[in-house]
Amino acid sequence: MTLLPNITTVDVQEQAPRVAVLPVGSYEQHGPYLPLITDTAIACIIAREIAAAYPVLSLPPISIACSHEHGTWPGTVSISARTLHAVIADIASSLEASGIRRLVLVNAHGGNYVLSNIVQEANLTEPRMSLFPQSREWSRARELAGLVSSAHDDMHAGEIETSILLHAEPSLVRPGYETADHDASDRPFLLTLGMKAYTESGVIGFPSQSAPTKGKAVLESLVQDFARHMEVLDK
């Protein structure tokens, strides 16, 4: 399976989509068993499932974003919030020039805080942009999939991320997640001190509870909840 959309300009002409979906991930450490592209891969997987269910234009991902909480962890690369804002604004403008005026940002990295501001600014005069999944949709997906951890406690390289990859792209998961649980639910100065103040392995969460069946159920829930975003935007 490919993480990139496999379509031609003829496909786009025939489908004439009114909404585009843009995966936004990161390039950051995810412990010793998940790749640096984990968030990007998950954003692409969600976008791929959405494109299979709805008439949208699936775009290639933004693969390097705001991972400053990971500091100088080997392999981690970040761009500024200003740069991410500018890139998305340019993409939205380019899409509008070709007739697509609605854009959904499919975000899979919690550190991309600026995306909420980007969406709010874009919708000043009319609904033009949406952010997906939002916390309510992640929470519903966790509940329906039977995950044992919470979103707060299972923050990074944990049960939900590992489960999604075990289901959708198992070749990306290396051995070791079965014994990598790390509880750092109390992390009051994460924004100030970064991840290294709360984890040596880079993991905050419970990957030992992961299962491909959970990942499948999470994705099914998210695809179902995307319908509401289409209703709001595609008018």
Which backbone phi and psi does 21 adopt, to 5 degrees?
A: -120, 130
Amino acid residing at 75:
G
- Using one digit for the tens of pLDDT, what is the confidence trace for 162-195? 999 999 999 999 999 999 999 999 999 999 999 9
Alpha helices (runs of H) in 183-233, residue ranges in sequence order: 190-193, 212-233
Answer for the pair 22, 88: CB distance below 8 angstroms, yes or no: yes
- The conformation of residue 151, written as its DSSP 8-state character, comes to T
- Using one digit for the tens of pLDDT, what is the confidence trace for 4-14? 888 999 999 99
Single pTM value for the model = 0.97
The mean per-residue pLDDT over the stretch 96-104 comes to 96
